[in-house]
Amino acid sequence: MFTLIDLPYPIDALEPVISAQTLSFHHGKHLQAYVDNLNKLIPGTEYESMTLEEIVIASSKPVPEPVEGPARKAIFNNAGQILNHNLYFTQFAPRHSRLDLSRHSRLDRESAPTGPLKAQIESQWGTLEAFQKEFVAKGVGLFGSGWVWLQADAAGTLSIGQYPGADNPVAHGLRPLLTFDVWEHAYYLDYQNRRAAHLEALWGILDWSVVERRYNKQ
């Protein structure tokens, strides 16, 4: 049985980038529904004893009849969405409380990569800003619902992945490091149709130390 993850910050901690209202629906309703659905789908199947990552990888590939069918796709979609949201919600941290804003500019408080991840981004994109620009452009350019990812291969080489629906880099043999959710439920209450503005604002609450830990964990 899978359970809903706890948010590692208060429900209003990411405002104004992600409002408490958006977060309460996104975590408490959307993610909860994926967890409930998966828990109904997997009992009695080969997926029952697997980890979330194992379920996503196994259910991403067609299997012989009679197991193959709509159930596998439903399992992939719900397991994928749980894995995606678990990675998404745990990569943020409040950056600028009201007190901090009185003393620091936003840029002073923004997190940035260091160490091997910083070196790798700069070797592939030149600057962090160039990487961020391409990442947001790929999120904006993803048609319909999906996720944009920073992902790494076994050698540590980075790439930006655009996947529709519930797909995740683990289904492509890659490690997920950072992701922006471009499903409308992630931003519509706060930004309506302004997806680009929302994605650009997410840099302000991204905790790069989380992304680095994912990168350094080979």
Contact footprint for Mn ion (CB under 5 A): 181, 183, 186
Cα atoms in the Cβ-side hemisphere of radius 13 Å centred on 50: 18
CB of 187 to Mn ion, least distance (A): 9
- List strand residue ranges (DSSP E) for the chain, in order: 146-152, 158-164, 175-181
Rg over CA atoms, the chain: 18
**Smallest distance, Mn ion to C-beta of residue 31, A:** 7
HSE-CB for 216 with a 13 A CA cutoff: 13
Select 181 or 207, whichever has its Cβ closest to Mn ion: 181
Name the minimum Å distance from CB 37 to Mn ion: 14
The smaller minimum CB distance to Mn ion, of residues 128 and 142, is found at 142
Closest to Mn ion by CB, 31 vs 158, is 31
User: Measuring CA to CA, how many Å separate 169 from each of 1, 92, 179, 188?
Assistant: 23, 19, 10, 25
Closer CB to Mn ion, residue 88 or residue 135? Answer: 88
Q: Are 205 and 93 in contact (CB under 8 A)?
A: yes
Least Cβ distance, residue 56 to Mn ion (angstroms) = 16
Residue nearest to Mn ion (CB): 181
- The distance of closest approach from Cβ of residue 15 to Mn ion in the complex, given in angstroms and rounded to an integer, is 18
Length of the chain: 218
Closest to Mn ion by CB, 76 vs 212, is: 76
Q: Which residues, 6 or more positions from 75, have their beta carbon under 8 angstroms from its beta carbon?
A: 38, 41, 42, 45, 47, 55, 59
**Cis previous bond, 66, omega within 30:** yes
